[in-house]
Amino acid sequence: AAGVIQSPRHLIKEKRETATLKCYPIPRHDTVYWYQQGPGQDPQFLISFYEKMQSDKGSIPDRFSAQQFSDYHSELNMSSLELGDSALYFCASSLDLRPTEAFFGQGTRLTVV
Amino acid sequence: AQSVTQPDIHITVSEGASLELRCNYSYGATPYLFWYVQSPGQGLQLLLKYFSGDTLVQGIKGFEAEFKRSQSSFNLRKPSVHWSDAAEYFCAVKKAAGNKLTFGGGTRVLVKP
């Protein structure tokens, strides 16, 4: 069965650079979520989209922005990167806002040097 | 705001022994409850979930969890642990409305031969 695809799997950037993470949800899923997991931390909710509109917002820095496109894939744009942005970034998808489970991708490991 | 507490940061168990991971939540109403497992460098895999109905839920890989409203708990159990169960386990809660998951701090399980 198709799963959530995230690219790239690994990314190394320098401070003050920009990074773009991509997420391709499971086919027919219309809701996408982004989570950030720092080293040794639990995942923290950043932002979610339902039908291409932002549906919920968590602890996402102003330097970050995200959107969901017409094909339901999502991109997380991160600017002015800081060392503290180094983390594993997960995308998850689900089918509408009913309380079904969210399926997680394998994550993108971002390292800022 | 909802919160999730996993009191045990690390648990070491012998292969073949039973395992119980504790999870307590704080929320005004009955939330939707989840257990996820994360192997090193991997994404989050859903083990089981509780929305309503029977308070004992069965999941994948031989795991089960019991929802106890009076104790605000949703503890995860497995009768006989396998070496492949070594991983980090996250309890998560979600409100009925909205799609944000709030995770506990995680419990790392080590399995001794």
What proportion of chain B, given as a percentage, has pLDDT over 90? 71
Of A41, A92, A99, the CB nearest to B32: A99
Q: What is the pLDDT of residue A2?
A: 76
- Cα angle at B100 between B96 and B105, to 5 degrees? 110
**CA A42, A80, B42, B83 torsion: positive or negative?**
negative
Predicted local distance difference test score (pLDDT) of residue A100: 63
Instruction: Report A:43-102 residues touching B (Cβ under 8 A).
Output: 43-45, 48, 50, 55-56, 58, 90, 92, 94, 97, 99, 101-102
Enumerate the residues of chain B whose CB falls inside 8 A of the CB of residue A94.
Answer: 99
pLDDT at position A98 is 56
pLDDT confidence tier of residue B100, bands split at 50, 70 and 90: confident
Give the DSSP letter string of B51-102: -SS-SEEE-GGG-EEEEEGGGTEEEEEESS--GGG-EEEEEEEE-SSS--EE
CA distances in angstroms from A71 to A29, A38, A48, A97, A109, listed in the order given: 10, 29, 16, 18, 24
| Residues B18-59: tens digit of each pLDDT | 999 999 998 867 788 999 999 887 789 999 999 888 899 999
Residue A84 is predicted with a pLDDT of 96
Mean pLDDT, rounded, of chain B: 91
Helix (H) or strand (E) holding A102: none
pLDDT in tens, chain A (113 residues): 678 999 999 999 999 999 999 999 999 898 999 999 998 888 999 999 999 999 889 989 999 999 999 999 999 999 999 999 999 999 999 887 554 678 899 999 999 99
Residues A5, A91: Cα–Cα separation, whole Å: 8
**Pair of tokens at residue A112:** 């800022």
| Closest to B37 (Cα-Cα) out of B98, B78, B97 | B78
Give the C-alpha separation, B108 to B9, whole Å. Answer: 6
State the pLDDT at residue B112.
95
Q: Please tell me if residue A103 touches chain B, with a CB cutoff of 8 Å.
A: yes
Measured in angstroms, the CA of B60 and the nearest CA of chain A are apart by: 14
